[in-house]
Structure 1
Amino acid sequence: MPGHDPRAIANEFIKLSGNRPFNQMWLQKLVYMANGWNLAINHNPLTDARIEAWDGGPVYRKIWNHLRDYGYDADSKLLCRPSDGPYEAPLSQEERDVIEHVWKRYGDYSGNELSQMTHHSGTPWSNTYFGRGRNAALDEGEIQRYFVDLALAGRQ
């Protein structure tokens, strides 16, 4: 099953945040983590876009470019198409469960704290950033293995 536009997944976290202030780093890392957990649990990517190893951690250029060019909708705070409303995804129940899991586990962390989590040695970001270089694409298989290992470590 192909993944969803990362801007639609970002909107899921914006909806969950209510009136809580947030920033792009926070949003980027939650979408990345949701994709990783979906790979580990459901064996499919949640997003359909390339994830790059930027200085601040994993980044979806689609989200970054959208926020640079259009920002958030003034009323809803969602990421919206310039003339066609918010990005949405037809999520399965399993995908919604992963988003809820990520929200409960990571939603209270700041963007900087989430970024620090991705910077640990042995993470897909650190392996890519220091192995293939700045802005290189993270490997989906490596992301999946990393999150499977996190799940197994959590069971011990």
Structure 2
Amino acid sequence: MYPAVAIANAFLETAQQKQEDISPMKLQKLVYFAHALSLAVYHRPLIDEPVYAWKFGPVIKSVYNEFRAYGYQPIHSLGTLIRKIGLARTSDEGPGFEVCIPKINPHDHNVRNLIDQIWELYGGLSAHTLSNLTHKPGSPWEITRNEHQNGEIPDYELSLELIETSMMKELGLMQEEIA
């Protein structure tokens, strides 16, 4: 599993390489779809934090918090995290901290492949279209909409099992369409 901001940074680097803009909402949805694909294909989470059901669909809080200052504008820098370094030598001394830019392991071909597949499938779509996809019938957000009151309960977690099952169904539909 990776910090969600590391997955977001992978999408930002892809967008930069392709000279395309990406807004916070679009980035949020791409990270969500990559996480869902990892659950469906590898049966394990891609990110190390929960996904919440908010008004405009699934939200990963660290990605939201890191990039929300951009509003609806394109993101122009990679996300950062603060990480603890070192141990306190005395009880009066706290641990040190550093700001880092989290990235995926360059040798993690499975994750790179997920990022590329999600970009190919969804990268050309608008943030609004991606948001609509996260609300469509059968999506985890839509299945649980009564429980989270259409996103009005911001700390309602979407279960990994529900996200996985939904994406597996989506993949089955995609395979039928190709056949």
Report TM bin, short chain. Answer: 0.7 to 0.9
Structure 2 residue 104 is the aligned partner of structure 1 residue 89: yes
Structure 2 residue 27 is the aligned partner of structure 1 residue 27: yes
Counterpart of 1:127 (choices 143, 155, 158) is 143
When residues 70 and 56 of structure 1 are mapped into structure 2, their CA distance, relative to the original with a 3 A threshold, is: closer
In 2, the alpha carbon distance for the partners of 1:153 and 1:32 equals 19
Alignment length, in residue pairs? 151
Structure 1 residue 86 displacement after superposition: 1.3
- Aligned-pair identity (%): 30
Structure 1 residue 64 displacement after superposition: 1.2
Alignment deviations for residues 120-146 of structure 1 (CA, whole Å, 9 cap, x no partner):
122101122323443211010010001
**Bigger radius of gyration:** 2
Structure 1 residue 68 displacement after superposition: 4.1
In 1, the alpha carbon distance for the partners of 2:148 and 2:135 equals 15
Asked if the contact 1:9–1:88 (Cα under 8 Å) also holds between the matched residues in 2, the reply is yes
The answer for the alignment partner of 2:125 in structure 1 is 109
The answer for the alignment partner of 1:147 in structure 2 is 167
The answer for the alignment partner of 1:78 in structure 2 is 78
When residues 150 and 90 of structure 1 are mapped into structure 2, their CA distance, relative to the original with a 3 A threshold, is: same
The answer for the alignment partner of 2:116 in structure 1 is 100
From the two aligned structures, give the one with the greater helix fraction: 1
Instruction: Give structure 1 stretches of 5+ with no counterpart.
Output: none
